[in-house]
Amino acid sequence: MSDKPALNSGVLYISYDGLLEPLGQSQVFQYLNQLAKEYPITLVTYEKPEDWAKTKERNVFIEKVRAAGIRWIPLRYHQRPTAPATAYDLAVGFLVCIYLVIRYRIKLVHVRSYVPAVLGLLLKHIFGVRFIFDMRGFWVDERIDAEIWTENSRLYKIAKWFERQFLTHADVVVSLTHAGVKVMQKFPYLQENTPRFEVIPTCTNLEIFYPRFNIQNRQDRPFTLGYVGSVGGWYLFDIVLECLKELLEIRPNARLLILNRNQGDYIRNRLNFYGINEHLVELKTVFYNQVAEEMHQMDAGIFFIKPVFSKQASAATKLGEFLGCGIPCLSNDGVGDMTEILEENKAGVILREFGPQAQILAVQQLLQLVEDPRVGDRCVATAHRYFSLEQGVKSYNQIYQSLYNPTFSIEEELNHEKN
């Protein structure tokens, strides 16, 4: 545990994503590791059994959390049947959080996404704590866009009611994108009750994801296109493979390096469908702390996301990681602030429509961009401008400080404790 002075009250952070998942490590721990230097953090997460069963990795992370001075309460995540499992998780979490709020005099509850926001809302009504709704995207609309729910379903209507409560009762609403804020500002029920919006993208630890430019090595090896993360869900992997085929027409010795967990069979099936020689594709499963090293082998990154309504509020974690490593990206329009970020900073290529001619042109533009000797520096500068973990932590710290006690600064409270 850290030796920082204890404040009069603490921060409770609740995440339905597990800390042992890659997302938990990149988008929860990286922030809290820094914020815990200033605030007593109690963290509640829901861990998947398969992640918790990896004893070695679990014990390593337990030590990291302890060294950061974070009080970690891992709960078990239940997946099926979906609605009853989620209700059970919330019931357990509610009892645990009530104890934590009382035991550690919690003053501020920070929730990550919609499911734990139910707990944040209840805790605000019961105890009067400050409530940060870190929404991470339009989760309810994602269920519609993914055709999991319909707009006439009871679950959708209930979830939309909760969304309204989160937005109207939160002390601060954190959005990943400016595009998402613009959409919410048009919600009729927010016209006379607009919450305090803050935009904080999915940030990247740029001390981990940094460039390693070596032009000579790049000239001595085949052009390497990089793909990182899931190939299902919102990601349009088939379009990636179509672009790869266009790339191979121009650079026959090019290759695709894929970093992915547990989807190897699906990837090989799609490669076979498109007639792509598996020898041109390298598939690796790596831990989060190994991703940056693998990225250093890539000349360009590629990923496409379904440009549906809900994705206006989304920001891909991998974008900041690619750019931090000095790697330009090929992606598509209609997703968060990505078009403006890549085009205005000349750090990537945006595909505005899916189709052979547009994809051929986009691949050609990407190759031209990679040849630009200044593109790496522009990518890194863009990463620091938009995705810096340091800036993200600073933004969260300002939110915490303003809510902790608007008229009593953190420094004054620390001095008060010492006296």
- The count of other CB atoms within 10 Å of the CB of residue 235 is 17
State whether 242 and 151 are in the same domain.
no
pTM to 2 decimal places: 0.85
CB of 226 closer than 8 Å to CB of 301: yes
Interatomic CA distance for residues 396 and 93, integer angstroms: 24
State whether 130 and 250 are in the same domain.
no
φ, ψ of residue 238 to 5 degrees: the values are: -60, -35
**Residue 157 maps to a domain:** yes
Interatomic CA distance for residues 244 and 178, integer angstroms: 31
Question: How many domains, the chain?
Answer: 2
**What value does the mean pLDDT take over residues 202-222?**
77
Q: Each residue of 174-191: b (16+ CB within 10 Å) or e?
A: bbbbebbbebbeeeeebe
State whether 176 and 40 are in the same domain.
yes
State whether 399 and 272 are in the same domain.
no
**Residue 1 maps to a domain:** no
- Please choose, from the candidates 224, 361, 344, 364, the residue with its C-alpha nearest in 3D space to the C-alpha of residue 282: 224
What is residue 405's predicted lDDT score, i.e. its pLDDT?
A: 62
State whether 242 and 323 are in the same domain.
yes
Instruction: Quick: pLDDT tens for 48-78.
Output: 999 999 999 899 999 999 999 999 999 999 9
The three-state secondary structure class of 7 is: coil
Interatomic CA distance for residues 227 and 142, integer angstroms: 23
State whether 102 and 124 are in the same domain.
yes
State whether 178 and 241 are in the same domain.
no
When mean pLDDT is compared across 198-207, 281-290, 408-417, the lowest value belongs to 408-417
CB of 170 closer than 8 Å to CB of 195: yes
Domain hosting residue 406, numbered range: 10-203+389-413
**What value does the mean pLDDT take over residues 133-140?**
94
State whether 265 and 356 are in the same domain.
yes
State whether 31 and 179 are in the same domain.
yes
State whether 400 and 367 are in the same domain.
no
Tokens of 61: 């992370």
Instruction: Quick: pLDDT tens for 341-381.
Output: 999 999 999 999 999 999 999 999 999 999 999 999 999 99
**Residue 133 maps to a domain:** yes
Concatenated DSSP letters for 70-129?
Answer: -EEEEEE---SSHHHHHHHHHHHHHHHHHHHHHHTTEEEEEEESHHHHHHHHHHHHHH--
**Residue 273 maps to a domain:** yes
State whether 375 and 234 are in the same domain.
yes
Q: Which helix (H) or strand (E) holds 43?
A: strand 41-47
**Residue 403 maps to a domain:** yes
**Residue 369 maps to a domain:** yes
**Residue 5 maps to a domain:** no
**Residue 208 maps to a domain:** no
State whether 147 and 31 are in the same domain.
yes
CB of 106 closer than 8 Å to CB of 10: yes
CB of 235 closer than 8 Å to CB of 303: yes
What is residue 213's predicted lDDT score, i.e. its pLDDT?
A: 63
In this structure, what CATH number is given to the domain that contains residue 221?
Answer: 3.40.50.2000
Interatomic CA distance for residues 346 and 353, integer angstroms: 19
